[in-house]
């Protein structure tokens, strides 16, 4: 992936998902942080493999987004919960193993990441036995433990209380210290840690009614 290429490029991208195809999406920009505001579910479905690109292109740091994901250059922290029957530790270990770490190395990296994320107290709890905020943080830890240089995070602040929002925002700020970051939200956060994180983005894309309605510096910044 190229540090000089725009972090996000939507080149007339028409994403087909559940028999619905977006209008052509066009936006290009960002260096270290990009924020996405509005209905970006097709974008994440494309990354997860649940949607297809009917036309155009979607690139992250100059590389086809799906290809970059498959090569481990991009890690996705999805809004969907990790497997609920797994413990937090097992989930992070499995993400590390997918990043081609051998078993013992994966366990060491997982334990270190859980400690950095202040998740050690819940490491051996099943994800069905913790709240949604903890599962969100575990999902971020799973993305962080990979070798990926770009993290794409789907709606990390949805349905969180103020305390958990601050924990998630702190986790994202820590990850942004050495990763490139793409973060989405259904609506622009107003104030609080989430609002501050979005305000520090160097490029924002707002989508409404299936089309890009703004692309550039954050609106009203």
CB atoms within 10 A of CB 114: 23
- Looking at the fold, whether 67 and 153 belong to one and the same domain comes out as yes
DSSP state for residue 43 in the 8-state scheme: H
Ranges of residues in the chain whose predicted pLDDT is under 50: none
C-alpha–C-alpha distance, residues 119 and 140, integer Å: 11
Residue 209, exposed/middle/buried by CB under 10 A (0-12, 13-18, 19+)?
A: exposed
C-alpha–C-alpha distance, residues 159 and 132, integer Å: 8
Query: In this prediction, what percent of the chain has a pLDDT beyond 70?
Result: 97
- Looking at the fold, whether 4 and 108 belong to one and the same domain comes out as no
* Residue 193 forms part of a structural domain: yes
- Looking at the fold, whether 62 and 155 belong to one and the same domain comes out as yes
Residue 18, pLDDT score = 78
Helix, strand, coil shares, percent, the chain, to 5? 35, 30, 35
Pairing of strands 33-38, 180-185: parallel
Q: What is the pTM of this model?
A: 0.92
Tallying the residues shown for the chain, one arrives at 221
* Residue 33 forms part of a structural domain: yes
Residue 2, pLDDT score = 63
- Looking at the fold, whether 23 and 50 belong to one and the same domain comes out as yes
Residue 161, exposed/middle/buried by CB under 10 A (0-12, 13-18, 19+)?
A: exposed
H helix or E strand, kind and range, residue 163: helix 162-175
In the chain, the number of structural domains is: 2
Residue 82, pLDDT score = 80
Residue 168, exposed/middle/buried by CB under 10 A (0-12, 13-18, 19+)?
A: buried
Given 91, 110, 133, the domain boundary residue is 133
Q: What is the pLDDT of residues 68-113, one digit of tens each?
A: 999 999 999 988 878 899 999 999 999 999 887 888 899 999 999 9
- Looking at the fold, whether 67 and 92 belong to one and the same domain comes out as no
Residue 104, pLDDT score = 87
C-alpha–C-alpha distance, residues 99 and 93, integer Å: 10
Domain interval for residue 193: 1-73+148-208
Residue 220, pLDDT score = 61
What does the block give as tokens for 96?
């590390």
């Amino acid at each position: 992936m190229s540090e000089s290429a725009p972090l996000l490029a939507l080149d007339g991208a028409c994403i087909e998902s559940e028999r619905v195809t977006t209008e052509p999406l066009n936006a290009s920009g960002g260096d270290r942080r990009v924020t996405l505001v509005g209905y970006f579910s097709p974008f994440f479905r494309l990354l997860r493999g649940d949607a297809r690109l009917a036309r155009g292109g979607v690139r992250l740091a100059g590389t086809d987004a799906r290809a970059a994901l498959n090569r481990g250059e991009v890690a996705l922290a999805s809004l969907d919960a990790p497997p609920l029957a797994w413990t937090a530790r097992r989930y992070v270990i499995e993400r590390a193993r997918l990043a081609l770490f051998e078993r013992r190395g994966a366990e060491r990296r997982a334990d270190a990441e859980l400690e950095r994320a202040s998740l050690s107290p819940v490491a051996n709890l099943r994800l069905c036995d913790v709240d949604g905020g903890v599962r969100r943080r575990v999902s971020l830890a799973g993305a962080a433990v990979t070798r990926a240089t770009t993290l794409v995070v789907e709606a990390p602040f949805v349905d969180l209380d103020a305390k958990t929002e601050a924990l998630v925002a702190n986790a994202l700020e820590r990850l942004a210290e050495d990763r490139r970051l793409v973060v989405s939200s259904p609506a622009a956060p107003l104030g609080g840690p989430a609002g501050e994180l979005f305000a520090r983005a160097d490029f924002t894309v707002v989508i409404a009614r299936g089309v890009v309605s703004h692309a550039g510096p954050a609106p009203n910044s």
